Amino acid sequence: MYNYIYILLILVIINSLNCSDIVVNIDIEYDRLLE
């Protein structure tokens, strides 16, 4: 459960940095975790 919270925090931080390339990479990793 806590893992999802950390992922959300990371996404928020990255969104604030506007690093689209990193966001794409995290989206891919997140999809892997959901599988």
pLDDT at 3 (0 to 100): 82
Q: In angstroms, rounded to a whole number, what is the distance separating the alpha carbons of residues 12 and 23?
A: 10
Q: Which domain holds residue 30?
A: 2-34
Instruction: Express each pLDDT in 4-32 by its tens digit.
Output: 889 888 888 877 776 556 667 777 777 78
Q: Please give the model's pTM, rounded to 2 decimal places.
A: 0.40
What b/e string do you get for 1-35 counting C-beta neighbours within 10 Å, with b at 16 or more? Answer: eeeeeeeeeeeeebeeeeeeeeeeeeeeeeeeeee
Domains identified in the chain, total number: 1
For every residue of the chain, DSSP letters joined together read -HHHHHHHHHHHHHHHHT-HHHHHHHHHHHHHHH-
Tokens of 15: 């969104």
